[in-house]
Amino acid sequence: HSADAFRTDLMTITRFVLNEQSKYPESRGDFTILLSHIVLGCKFVCSAVNKAGLAKLIGLAGETNVQASCQGEEQKKLDVLSNEVFVKALVSSGRTCILVSEEDEEATFVESSLRGRYCVVFDPLDGSSNIDCGVSIGTIFGIYTVKDDGEPALDDVLQPGKNMVAAGYCMYGSSCTLVISTGGGVNGFTLDPSLGEFILTHPDIKIPKKGKIYSVNEGNAKNWDGPTAKYVEKCKFPKDGSSPKSLRYIGSMVADVHRTLLYGGIFLYPADKKSPNGKLRVLYEVFPMSFLMEQAGGQAFTGKQRALDLLPTNIHERSPIFLGSYDDVEEIIALYAAEE
Ligand code: AHM
Ligand code: MG
């Protein structure tokens, strides 16, 4: 009967979140409104990404730039466009007060007439190196509530990841998939383009306890620290009689994390001699993905501590990150502990 139920009783993301929020008697629907504005941003970016390959044909990038570095222009446009759409959608929701975007140097403080209780940190279009060849890219977001009723300040977004009230990503891939957690597990929704609605397709996602895949940019191996190098060596030449792991690396965090969540395994963006803090940004990359991993039963570790315990001091701060299946991350934790 369940197949039938799915076809005629569609669980849209709005309906799902309304159901969840109704468990809290004090809920005023603010979160649902905020989320519907995030969803609008995702739908817009999805449609823009899908048209990007046709840009020359339909004149999306503008006629003036056709000869020169048309590709570069389009790419820049898509990043900037996505950011503008998200910022405007979030501000106009009337539910936000501080926005931090990977695209903007400074945080945006929402003017008082439109101000709400939520702070949103986001990367509007992550995986920029993959745009021009049609490989999956995504949006990542995390949501905090302001600490108190005082004047909003940067401190309201410089909170540890464990304080997030929700986190998620939208992947623009072979289908458009939105994965979100509000702290009670992880759920995945797929955009039905004919309806323009995200429908629940991946209820209560749990990451396998142990996986068979590792995901890392091995081109950086020469500069890795001891534990990272030892771990990857173990993946390739296990000494306990188990089979070697497979390597999968897309270079889009959203796509690599999405596969890790569904299939299990580990995603690494470690520190190296050139970048002692790794590459990925704490607020809008490391925290949301770590939040989702923990909610799905996995772990996220920085090389020093549980990722969600980190207290950021700068909105664009970076951190090394190891996340994925519980047992796989446990191994890397042990290797770092042995270092000390
Ligand atoms: P970006 O914000 O410039 O797109 O960089 C972030 C991306 C992540 O999506 C991905 O995990 C990582 O950079 C890949 O980096 P690298 O090319 O160094 O392997
Ligand atoms: Mg990014």
Question: What is the three-class DSSP state of 330?
Answer: helix
> Cα separations (Å) of 94 from 25, 49, 50?
21, 27, 29
Quote the CA–CA distance of 54 and 328 in Å, as a whole number: 41
Ion ligand 2: residues, CB within 5 A, are 123, 126
pLDDT at 60: 56
pLDDT at 20: 87
Please give the distance, rounded to the nearest whole angstrom, from the Cα atom of residue 217 to the centre of ligand 1: 10
Looking at this protein, which amino acid is placed at residue 111?
E
Please give the distance, rounded to the nearest whole angstrom, from the Cα atom of residue 253 to the centre of ligand 2: 8
Q: Residues lining ligand 1, CB < 6 A?
A: 126-128, 217, 251-253, 256, 269, 279
Which of 198, 142, 139 lies closest to 172 in space, CA to CA? 139
This prediction's pTM: 0.93
Q: Where are the alpha helices (DSSP H) in the chain?
A: 2-8, 13-21, 30-52, 55-58, 70-92, 226-236, 253-263, 287-295, 326-339
pLDDT at 5: 55
Nearest CA to ligand 1 atom 5: 127
The burial of 176, by beta-carbon neighbours within 10 Å (0-12 exposed, 13-18 middle, 19 or more buried), is given as buried
pLDDT at 128: 84
Task: Tell me the mean pLDDT per 10 residues along the chain, length 340.
Answer: 67 92 82 96 94 69 45 63 96 97 97 96 94 92 92 95 98 97 97 96 98 97 97 96 96 98 98 95 98 98 98 98 98 94
The answer to whether 240 and 187 are in contact (CB under 8 A) is no
ipTM, two decimals, is 0.96
Please give the distance, rounded to the nearest whole angstrom, from the Cα atom of residue 321 to the centre of ligand 1: 13
